[in-house]
Amino acid sequence: MKYDVLIVGAGFAGAVCAERLAAAGKRVLIIDKRSHIGGNAFDCHDKNGVMIHPYGPHIFHTSSKRIFEYLSNFTDWRFYEHRVLACVDGTLYPIPINRTTINKLYDLDLDEQAVTAYLESVREPRDRVTTSEDVVLSSVGRDLCEKFFRGYTRKQWGLDLSELSAGVAARIPTRANDDDRYFTDAFQFMPAQGYSSMFERMLASPNIELRLSEDFHAIRSVVERQHTVYTGPIDAYFDFRFGKLPYRSLAFEHEHLSNVGRFQLTGTVNYPNDHEYTRITEFKHLTGQRHSGTSIVREYPRAEGEPYYPIPRPENEALFKRYSELAEATPDVTFVGRLAQYRYYNMDQVVGAALKAAEDLTL
Ligand code: FAD
Ligand code: UDP
């Protein structure tokens, strides 16, 4: 056997498995059909020299010390707490909804306790919270739901809040205090030299061979190996035997603005009700880079295209379950990552899942 393990995909899931397996002495071949490593977390400089994330903004945050310490073997960090404003009727408000949002929107001057009481008076409690609509209505009530959530969700997913599982909207908390950070995790840092540098270091072992612009489907029966780690879409692995699993896609519109030091107040501004795009991100906020110009990206949701988001709703989860039963009956392949596990995972969750998968393979 030439290789112990073939790893399909050089994003977080694939790179973590490659690094761990190589460290355990395995001979690893890792391939990606794209021409670069890093998967969707890939970053690079645009032609004007500004560091951008071609596949949309990636902000690292985790509450897991273990995951943070593991990645710290491959990167230095820059402290960064992401903040987001939502543009509603032409005015910018903090999102997640907090005390400032409520006071500014309704021209009030409530303290924290009064905001809690206000939310209590407008929320529409539910006996069972199963959809994203249940989550939002039961936490902030109808008016805030219509202003901040329904339109954004319709654009992002092409679905109503009531058609999505609770977990989607549950990503966004509601706060009665003034905390305007998007995330509250204990570790909120960006890789100091970028994600791609971190991935290069993860894949530097002599036990790892990397082949880019290589599609699994062209080599699946050619490469001699004992085991496969597959991080692409699970339905594609099984040749769509039960039909296509829906994934949501995006088109990214990148723009460089020369001689504009700063385009917007925060890293991201959301547009829940206006425009075809959901949000604009300005990269210099995230990276701390100094440059006379600035680069931004607008995200336009799409039904077709590269699979970026699994779509969490009961019928999709039922279809995924059928594929995952096939996966369980395929012991020489490990399925791990956002597309292979059809989970709306953040980067740190993918790292956690990949560490576990690699551990299981080296026991
Ligand atoms: P991917 O990064 O998708 O990697 C899979 C790789 O497999 C790809 O490179 C693909 O080319 C390759 N592949 C697939 N099929 C084949 C094949 N047949 N042959 C060869 N190669 C193949 N997470 C956060 O924590 N914070 C954020 O701010 C954040 N922002 C995001 C913004 C956007 C727009 C998106 C889409 C995601 C965001 N995420 C964020 C989630 C994050 O991107 C994922 O959790 C993580 O990158 C998934 O890693 P992965 O390895 O599972 O998948
Ligand atoms: N959401 C919303 N309004 C917002 C921000 C988020 O309705 O201003 C909802 C929307 O359904 C979105 C989900 O919450 O898809 C999760 O948002 P998040 O910012 O976590 O999405 P991601 O960064 O993963 O695209």
Write the pLDDT tens digit of every residue in 90-100.
999 999 999 99
Nearest Cα residue to atom 3 of ligand 2: 149
Asked if the structure places residue 96 within a domain, the reply is yes
Query: Does this model's pTM top 0.95?
Result: yes
Residues 214 and 354 in one domain: yes
DSSP 210-269: EEES--HHHHTTTS-EEEEEE-S-HHHHTTTTT-PPPEEEEEEEEEEETT-S-SSSSSEE
Write the pLDDT tens digit of every residue in 187-242.
999 999 999 999 999 999 999 999 999 999 999 999 999 999 999 999 999 999 99
Q: Among the atoms of ligand 2, which is closest to the Cα of residue 156?
A: 15
Q: What is the CATH number of the domain that holds 241?
A: 3.40.50.720
Residues 103 and 223 in one domain: no
Q: Last residue of some domain: 148, 169, 190?
A: 169
Asked if the structure places residue 100 within a domain, the reply is yes
Write the pLDDT tens digit of every residue in 320-357.
999 999 999 999 999 999 999 999 999 999 999 999 99
Residues 216 and 318 in one domain: yes
Residues 231 and 96 in one domain: no
Q: Last residue of some domain: 124, 148, 169?
A: 169
Q: Looking at this predicted complex, what is its ipTM?
A: 0.99
Taking the centre of ligand 2 as the mean of its atom positions, its distance from the CA of residue 153, in whole angstroms, is 7
Domain of residue 125 covers 84-169
Average pLDDT over residues 97-122: 98
Nearest Cα residue to atom 7 of ligand 1: 9
* The amino acid at 92: L
d(CA 224, CA 334): 16
Query: How many domains are there within the chain?
Result: 2
Q: Which helix (H) or strand (E) holds 287?
A: helix 283-287
Taking the centre of ligand 2 as the mean of its atom positions, its distance from the CA of residue 333, in whole angstroms, is 33
DSSP 143-203: HHIIIIIIHHHHHHHSS-GGGSBHHHHTTS---SSS--BS---SEEEEETT-HHHHHHHHT
Residues 28 and 160 in one domain: no
